[in-house]
Amino acid sequence: MTQVYETQAERTDLPLVVMPSVLDSMVEPIRLQFPQLHDIARVRMFEEFTSDEDAIASRLRDADVLLVGGYHISDDLLRRITGHGPNGADEGHVRCIVFCGTGVASYVDLDLAREFGVRVCNAEHYGDHAVAEHAFALMFELIRHVGELDKDVKAGNWAWKGGDGLQLAGRRLGIIGLGGIGSTVASIAKAFGMEVGAWSSHVPEALFERCGAEPVADMNELIASSDVVSVHLPLIDGVTRGIITAEHLEHLRPGTLFINTARSEVIEPGALLARLQRGDIPAGLDVFDHEPLKSGDAICQIPGIVLTPHVGWRTDGAFRELTRQMVECVRAFLTGGECNVVVHE
């Protein structure tokens, strides 16, 4: 039976905040934040993860604010929970959606939310270190094969036949997108003794200097001159969606490591798969065109690449900061303020 956590259940005069589905790792961190809503809102959290739309809609029937994470809100579900479905307000009246992440545009139709007069909020920079560290975890698996070596040793195979490792020190890292995560990656890379170049638009020149990255104005030039290419662009419709094209990927030299812990949608559809299928680019990917991946997916059949299930952001520190921001967004909405507003109501 689903455990339901509630605060101030008797205060029916207060607006209701509902989290209808939650990742196990978020339960305790967000519980610790809910006291910030004392005398501001009631909270109801269903302590299981589900993406079943009927279950989510049912749990949100009386909600004023939705805390969402880990699943997509279809247009149909958005209509239902905001009172714009066939059953009108009887099915829902959510006025604010708070997303547990930055790239909310990948999970909710923002234009439709705007049409319905629903505020949408996200979280910012909560996972800069988490995702940056995961990018290096992928790099190290590609160059040192720690997972494979562990299996070999435990199986009694001491002699490594997979070839010697590579070192990062002295190699050049090309970063596409020098925001919070990209600049953190640059700083870590410098500490490892790497040369760092970066292509990024709309960031101050001082940021390049602060994290030790050389600005490169042409993405093709950056890619062609790098031993490792790491993508850290946010997904912004009309700006970064598909910004990395098949033509850009043609500039990857054989043997170049390609890392993506950002969003798959920043790459032209089909372009990365086609490039990797040539078999000469080791890649580490945490994001994909279709999630979750199926075992028969074409990208799973390519040798020499490492795949992880969109977990780069999932660390204890990231969860603490993420849940703090989520609750602050709720508090601001219900007290007349603003916090991380992506769509105004």
Contact 65, 315 (CB under 8 A): no
Contact 184, 129 (CB under 8 A): yes
Query: What was the pLDDT predicted at 235?
Result: 87
Q: Which neighbouring-strand residues pair with 43?
A: 7, 17
Query: What was the pLDDT predicted at 166?
Result: 95
The mean of the pLDDT values for the chain is 95
Which domains are assigned to the chain? 4-126+316-343 (3.40.50.720), 128-307 (3.40.50.720)
pLDDT band at 55 (very low <50, low <70, confident <90, very high): very high
- Locate 104 and state its tokens: 């909310």
Q: For 242-262, how does the pLDDT look when each residue is reduced to its tens digit (9 = 90+)?
A: 999 999 999 999 999 999 999
Query: What was the pLDDT predicted at 243?
Result: 97
Query: What was the pLDDT predicted at 238?
Result: 86
**Which sign, positive or negative, has the C-alpha torsion 123, 188, 197, 262?**
negative
Tell me the mean pLDDT in the region 46-65: 95
Tell me the mean pLDDT in the region 160-181: 93
Query: What was the pLDDT predicted at 35?
Result: 96
Tell me the mean pLDDT in the region 161-186: 94
pLDDT band at 202 (very low <50, low <70, confident <90, very high): confident
DSSP letters, 54-107, are: HHHHHHTTT-SEEEE-SS---HHHHHHHTT-STTGGGT----EEEESSS-GGGT
Catalytic residue annotation: 263, 291, 310
Q: Give the whole-angstrom CA distance, residue 263 versus residue 250.
A: 20
Contact 276, 248 (CB under 8 A): no
Query: What was the pLDDT predicted at 142?
Result: 97
Tell me the mean pLDDT in the region 90-100: 94
Tell me the mean pLDDT in the region 49-75: 94
Phi, psi (5° rounding) for residue 176?
-105, 105
**Which sign, positive or negative, has the C-alpha torsion 52, 54, 59, 63?**
positive
Phi, psi (5° rounding) for residue 239?
-125, -60
Contact 225, 249 (CB under 8 A): no
Q: For 207-232, how does the pLDDT look when each residue is reduced to its tens digit (9 = 90+)?
A: 999 999 999 999 999 999 999 999 99
Q: Give the whole-angstrom CA distance, residue 38 versus residue 14.
A: 10
Q: Give the whole-angstrom CA distance, residue 187 versus residue 208.
A: 10
Tell me the mean pLDDT in the region 18-28: 94
As a whole-number percent, the residues of the chain with pLDDT over 70 amount to: 100
Q: For 296-343, how does the pLDDT look when each residue is reduced to its tens digit (9 = 90+)?
A: 999 999 999 999 999 999 999 999 999 999 999 999 999 999 999 999
pLDDT band at 88 (very low <50, low <70, confident <90, very high): confident
pLDDT band at 204 (very low <50, low <70, confident <90, very high): confident
What crossing angle do the helices spanning 128-144 and 146-154 adopt, rounded to 10°?
A: 60
Nearest Cα residue to 172 out of 234, 255, 98, 233: 255
Q: Give the whole-angstrom CA distance, residue 149 versus residue 161.
A: 10
Q: Is residue 15 over pLDDT 80?
A: yes
User: Where do the H-state alpha helices sit in the chain?
Assistant: 24-31, 53-59, 75-81, 110-115, 128-144, 146-154, 180-191, 205-211, 219-224, 246-249, 271-276, 316-334
Q: Is residue 187 over pLDDT 90?
A: yes
Nearest Cα residue to 2 out of 50, 54, 43, 35: 50
Which of 69-78, 132-141, 156-165 is least confident?
A: 156-165
Q: Is residue 1 over pLDDT 80?
A: no
According to DSSP, the β-strands at 341-343 and 305-307 are unpaired
Q: Which amino acid is at 55?
A: A
